[in-house]
Amino acid sequence: MRTAVVVGNPKPQSRTLAAGVLVAETVTGAPPDHVFDLVELGAGLLGWGDPAVTAAVETVAGCDVVVVASPTFKATYTGLLKLFLDQVPTAGLAGVVALPVMLGAGPGHQLAPELLLKPVLVELGATCPAPGLYLQDSAYADDPRLAPWAERTRPLLTALTAIRT
């Protein structure tokens, strides 16, 4: 199972990055094959045809599973993540199982991954078999929602990635 983590936090090496990697490891049992901290792509996200952005999009599209993680900004995912997702062609994530994950300071935005991020991933062709995951940013590693969510999600990933191969 080839996995990627895509992180849309404008702060490099953020808690969102650590949480995205933790989610990938928890649900798949292995470290992700690829990690894209989108802030490192910088201004290349603002135009079309940047080689690093194109390579990142192609790598994500070639994975079986992608964890897409963002902090909650203004009640939704970040503009940085939006810039990356705009680079994905129509149906560019067909055959990819996507897991939307968002972090926030409190429970007020816990539906954001499900209501805001998941529809965009589906629109790009991804399959999102599990509810989006919202974690408290100050305690994401100990968030009591992670383990039960991973237990429910793991068999779905196994089934869907078996169909792809």
**What is the average pLDDT value for the chain, to the nearest integer?**
94
Boundaries of every domain in the chain: 3-164
What is the DSSP annotation of 7-59? Answer: E--SSTT-HHHHHHHHHHHHHHSS--SEEEEGGGGGGGGGSS--HHHHHHHHH
pLDDT at 165: 58
Check whether 163 has a pLDDT greater than 80. no
Burial class (CB in 10 A: 0-12, 13-18, 19+), 70: buried
Average pLDDT over residues 154-158: 90
What is the predicted pLDDT for the residue at 164? 65
The number of beta carbons lying within 10 Å of the beta carbon of residue 146 is 19
Residue 75: the pLDDT is 84
Q: What is the pLDDT of residues 57-94, one digit of tens each?
A: 999 999 999 999 999 988 899 999 999 999 999 999 99
CATH C-level class of 3-164: alpha beta
For 1, the token pair is 């199972």
